[in-house]
Structure 1
Amino acid sequence: MPAPKSERSLAASIAAHESWAATPDRAKRTAPARAALDAKFLAEADGDPVRAEHLRKAHYQRLALKSAQARRRAKGLLAEADQADAELTAAVGGRR
């Protein structure tokens, strides 16, 4: 039977940390990925480096927006959970 997803995820995380710990030049290791992303933006901009830079900035701002939205949703869900917990505690007379 395969390992549960949480165990596979943990094993993968351990392997990733060990791999990065054994990497002497992290910038060199990630250079091909950065170059590919730059090439993608340049291709989308039809070879215009100024437009490519704006596309790159828009991409990262879009990621920042999604991150802020996710944090706001998580904060709201946490507040709802805290409220539900308080109501439950009050309903059972503080015994939990």
Structure 2
Amino acid sequence: MTIKELKENPVKLLDDDWALVSAGTPEKWNTLTVSWGGIGELWGRDVAFIFIRPQRYTKKFIDEQDYFTISFFDPEYKDMLRLCGRISGRD
């Protein structure tokens, strides 16, 4: 999907509804809740960027891979996203 195909406002999605970022391999992966980042266009290319603290467990998975996934959910799932923000795959 390209950014131009988004039907929702990406600022609202990240700021109000949050998202999950996932990275890794089929054998070992992790996900975390994010609300800091952006989606747009840079030099004619669609881009997405996120900010993750260095101590977060998922950061190493993102750093080791070429790609990561940003998943958005309906507001009714916010409690589940909050849970993903509290529990670490490290534990």
| TM-score interval, normalised by the smaller of the two chains | under 0.3
Q: Which has the higher helix share?
A: 1
More strand by share: 2
Find the structure with the greater CA-based Rg: 1
What TM-score, normalized to structure 2? Answer: 0.19
